[in-house]
Amino acid sequence: MADVYVPDLDTLRMGGVDVDGVRRAVQLILTSDYQFTTTWCGHLGASSKMPCQRCPAMTRLTKTNGELISIYGNMQNGSGAGGKPRTIDHFKQMADAYADGGNDTLSTPLTLEEHLSIEDRPLLIIDPSHIAPMPLHLTLGISVYLLRLGIEAVYFLRGRVPAATYAENLANTLRQSVGVAPTPYFNGAFEGRQCQRIGQRLSMVCELLAAFVPAAVSKSYNESCATWQRILPILTRAGDVSSDEASGGGSRGGARRPVPIGGRWRFAVVGRDCPATHAWAWVAAR
């Protein structure tokens, strides 16, 4: 479907647009959800080893990719991933290489270091800095994710039965203390306003979890909830951003980290990590 619009978009981008009889240049900003933008770029998406379409940071550290991590960065380090920006020249090279088909059709397929997870012909040759970080429609996803994360922590540390007990207590807390309940017409999930209420009262969830997990895990969970409580009002904010807030936005973001559970790490999710990693740099450049 996206391929149908390529000629029109290229004409607009290359030829500009008439405004009151004056020809003006057009800067095309590619923005949509993750799957859509990766398709435009010829990127394989979340299943690739370098899942971000703006930089080639690796998904996560494994036993065999330490050398590549040192070169391209690690997405699990969030805003400290260290990935170098992709370049328009590389997109042009991939478009030439895949003129007759994707990487899997080549007699000698390109290596990861050569294609950087661009394995199909890009539909548009666009500067990676003109790919907007995905719209932050995260309220619904993160709210449920944090609740589920607590259940997973109890399951990992104490087993199935305590996890089931915690889940039942959590449901009662949400219904009776927080005052929310899943809505059948919303696929059994929470609506936006309910997620706002959950975010405002996450301390109740933290107090409940503290009775089921070690103090170190409870502390990490509390920190994650506190971070989400700071972010949540920003996602629904309609007012202007002051110059002081704009100048301090990057430093306040910090280097995000996954939540540790029993010595292991809860991996960052590609669709949520990419905008959080690059959003501030993109806004600052506009």
pLDDT tens for each residue of 219-251: 999 998 998 888 777 766 656 666 666 565 544
Q: Of the residues 78, 96, 130, which one is the last residue of a structural domain?
A: 130
5-53 tens-digit pLDDT: 777 777 777 788 888 888 888 777 777 677 777 888 899 887 889 988 8
Find, among 53, 54, 29, the residue nearest to 42 by Cα: 53
**One domain for residues 96 and 76:** yes
Q: Which of 279, 3, 284, 266 is nearest to 157 (CA)?
A: 266
Rounded Cα gap, residues 182 and 184, in angstroms: 7
Asked whether residue 14 is domain-assigned, the answer is no
Task: Show which of 211, 238, 265 is a domain's final residue.
Answer: 238
Q: Is residue 12 part of a domain?
A: no
217 in a structural domain: yes
Task: Provide the b/e sequence for 35-70 (b: ≥16 CB within 10 Å).
Answer: eebbbbbbbbbeebbbbbbbbbbbbbeeeebeebbe
Number of domains comprising the chain: 2
Task: Decide if 113 contacts 84 (C-beta within 8 A).
Answer: no
Q: How many helices (H) and strands (E) does the chain have?
A: 12, 4
Band of residue 216 on the pLDDT scale cut at 50, 70, 90: very high
**Closest Cα to residue 268, out of 27, 73, 18, 74?**
74
* Same domain, residue pair 100 and 156: no
241 dihedral zone (left: phi>0; alpha: psi -120 to 50; beta): beta
